[in-house]
A and B are shown apart, each in its own frame.
Chain A
Amino acid sequence: MKPGTRLKSAACDTEVMVIRCADGQIECGGSPMGEAKPADAAPLSADFSAGTLMGKRYVDADGKYELLCVKPGKGSLSVDGVALVVKDAKPLPASD
C-alpha cells in the first residue's frame, strides 16, 4: 500500500484515496478494502455502518493514516478494527 492507491469497499459503494498509511489493514463496513471490488459483496457490519461522506478526510488517533473519501457509501472506515474519525478542517480564506 502506498499513498495515491485507490481502495474500494467490499461492503458498500465507498471508495477512498490513500493519503497516508502504515502496515495495518484498512477496512470499510468491517471488511478489508482492496484495489478491486470482490465478486461477492461482504456483509455490512452494524458497528461500521455510520457511512462515509464525499470529500471528507478520515484519520486515526496517531496520525499514521489519512484516507480521502472519493465516493461515499454506507460503511464506515477503520484500521485493524479501530474506527477512523473525520479530520477537523480549519478553513483558510480563499486566496486564489
Chain B
Amino acid sequence: MNIALLLEMAAEAAPDRIALVCDGKRWTYGDLLDAARGAFELIQESEAEYVALLDESSEAAVIAVFGAALAGVPYCPLNYRLPDADLAALLGRVAPALVVGDEERITRIAGDQEHTIFSREEFTLKAQETVPEPDSREYDPGEGIAIQLFTSGTTAAPKAAILRHSNLLGYILGTVEFGSADEAEAALVVVPPYHIAGISALLSSIYSQRKIVMLPNFSPEGWLELVQTEAVTNAFVVPTMLARIVDAMEKGVAADTASLRAIAYGGGKMPLEVIHKALERFPGAGFTNAYGLTETSSTVALLGPDDHREALASDDPKVRARLTSLGKPIPTVEMQIRGENGEVLGPNEAGEIYVRGDQVSGEYKEKSALDAEGWFPTRDAGYMDEHGYLFLSGRADDVIVRGGENMSPGEIEDVLLTHPAIADACACAIPSVEWGEAVGTAIVVREGHEAPAEDELKALIRSRLRSSRVPEKIKFVEELPYNEMGKLLRRKVKDVLAN
C-alpha cells in the first residue's frame, strides 16, 4: 500500500474542499493530487533516485512527498539550517536526486553531484502543468521506502532513518479516522518539513480532511495572527514555541484565539511553568502531550486533554505529577521498560524504553536497530508508574554513571529548577578520577536574581536526593544551547563543563 492512498482518498471524497493554505494561497485536495501526479512525471523524467527538499514548509513539500511516493523513490527533506559543508555531504548521500528549494545554494554546494534542481516555484508550476491522463500510469505499489530522514545528530553524525509506506500507513490508519474533521477544522503546521512531526502533520491532516494552515517561519506574533485570521482549531508546537507564544501574550500581543480547540506539544521537555500558563491562556483548548521519534513514525504515547484537566484539578501529588508525564502508549503500540541486561522491568523501575508496532521502523539505511522480536530500543530512559503513565528521564546515553550508580540528569535538573533564582539547568557527566564520572551542572540565573551560592545549591540537592547526586562542578552560563526544535544539546554543555 502506498501513502499516496491518503491523498487519493481525500481527493476522491471531496475534490473541491480546501486542503492547504500557505502564503495566502489555497489548494484543494483535487489540486494537490493533480500536482502530485504531475510531480510523478517530473521525477520519472529526471531518473532521480531520491526526491530531496531544501526549503521551508510550502505546498511544494506536500506535492513532493506524494509525487515521490507515486514514483516509488524515497522523499528526503533536508535541514536548511545546516552549514553548507554538512548539507553538501547529505546531498551527496542521496545523489542523484530531484532537489527542490534554494536553487542557488544547491547549485553552489552540490552542483557537481548530478542532481536535477528546481526552485520551489518552478517545481510547483511544472507539476501543475504536467498532469497525465488519469489511469494511464502505473504508480508504485508502495512496498518500499517512502521517506528517509537524517536524524538531528545531537549525539553523533546524522543517521539515515528509513520509514516505509507500511510504517506510515500503520500510524495513520491506526490513529486517524478518515474524514473525521468537520469543515471548520484547521490545523496550524509550524514544524519544519524535515522533522517527523512536520510530515505526520501533513499525512494525518489530509487523511482526517482537516485543512492545513502553514506557517513557514515561526514567530509568536505570526502564529497568533494566523490563529485568528484562519480560525485555527488545532495546533502542534514544540515547548520553546509555546513558551514564546505565552510570553508574547503576556507582553500584550493580542489575538482572538477562541477558535483553538486542541493544542498538542512534543519534541522536548515542557517546563511545568509554561504548561500551567498555557492552560490559563487557552482555557477553551484541550492539551495533548505527544511522545514519539523519527524511527517510530511520530507519536507512540500521549497524554490527552482529560489527563491534563484531571492533573490540574487534583490534590493528589501523584495525579498532579502527570502533567510532566508523556501519558500512555497508544493502542496500536506495545511498550516495555527494560533494564541493563534486557530484562523487562516493573512499574516505577527506570530503564530504557522499548516499543513495537506496525508504525515502528527502527530502521536505518545501514542497518535495522530492531531486535529479533521486532522491539526498537529508543535510547530514551524512563519508567512507567503503576497506572501505566510514562515518564521520561532523558536519553539513555545521558545517564550519569558515578561509581557504578546510574543517575538521570532529569531528576537533578528538576530539583534545581525549584529554586526561584534558577531559570534553566542542565546536569551531565563530567570526568572524575575517583568515580569515573561525576555530576556537573550548568545553570542559567533568572533575570533580576543574584546567582545562588554553590553551597546553597549543593544543600538543596542533598536535601531532596541522595548525596551522590550533589554536583561536583557548578557553572553559571548566560544560556543553554538548544537546537531549533528545542532539543537541549547536552554534548555542548558537556564540552563547556569539561573545560
Contacts and interface: CB of A to CB of B under 8 A. Distances in A.
**Binding partners A and B:** yes
Interface of A: 3-4, 17, 19, 54-57, 68, 70-71, 89-96
A94 B262 contact: yes
A3 B173 CA distance: 14
B354 to A, nearest CB: 20
B147 to A, nearest CB: 14
Given A4-B141, A4-B142, A17-B1, A92 B12 contact: no
B457 interface: no
A56 B173 CA distance: 10
B286 A55 contact: no
A93 B404 CA distance: 42
B1 A92 contact: no
Contacts of B302: 92-93, 95
Contacts of A94: 187, 204, 208, 210, 234, 262, 264, 288
Nearest to B10: A55
Interface of B: 1, 5, 8-9, 12-13, 141-143, 173, 175-180, 187, 197, 200-201, 204, 208, 210, 234, 236, 262, 264, 266, 286, 288, 290, 292, 298-299, 302, 304-305, 330-331
A93 B181 CA distance: 12
Contacts of B330: 92
B197 A96 contact: yes
Contacts of B201: 96
Contact of B178 (A19, A56, A71, A93): A56
A93 B208 CA distance: 12
A54 B9 contact: yes
B177 A95 contact: no
A93 B5 contact: no
B290 A96 contact: yes
Contacts of B262: 93-94
A17 B5 contact: yes
Tell me the dominant secondary structure on chain B's binding face. Answer: mixed
Contacts of B143: 4
Contact of B288 (A54, A70, A95): A95
A4 B200 contact: no
Contacts of A89: 177, 180
A95 B177 CA distance: 13
B224 to A, nearest CB: 20
Contacts of B204: 94, 96
Given A55-B9, A93-B305, 19 more contacts: A4-B141, A54-B12, A56-B178, A57-B173, A68-B173, A92-B302, A92-B331, A93-B264, A93-B304, A94-B208, A94-B262, A94-B264, A94-B288, A95-B236, A95-B298, A95-B302, A96-B200, A96-B290, A96-B298
Given A54-B9, A70-B12, A95 B179 contact: no
A19 B358 CA distance: 12
A54 B141 CA distance: 21
B8 A55 contact: no
Contacts of A93: 262, 264, 286, 288, 302, 304-305
Contacts of B266: 95
A37 B13 CA distance: 21
A1 to B, nearest CB: 14
Which 8 pairs from chain A and chain B are nearest by CB? A55-B178, A95-B290, A4-B1, A96-B200, A95-B299, A93-B288, A89-B177, A96-B201
Contacts of B175: 92, 95
Contacts of A54: 9, 12-13, 178-179
B264 to A, nearest CB: 5
Contacts of B331: 90, 92
Nearest to B13: A54
A95 B12 CA distance: 25
13 contacts: A17-B5, A19-B173, A54-B12, A54-B13, A55-B178, A68-B173, A70-B9, A89-B180, A92-B331, A93-B305, A94-B210, A95-B299, A95-B302
Nearest to B196: A96
A69 B264 CA distance: 29
B178 A91 contact: no
Nearest to B165: A4
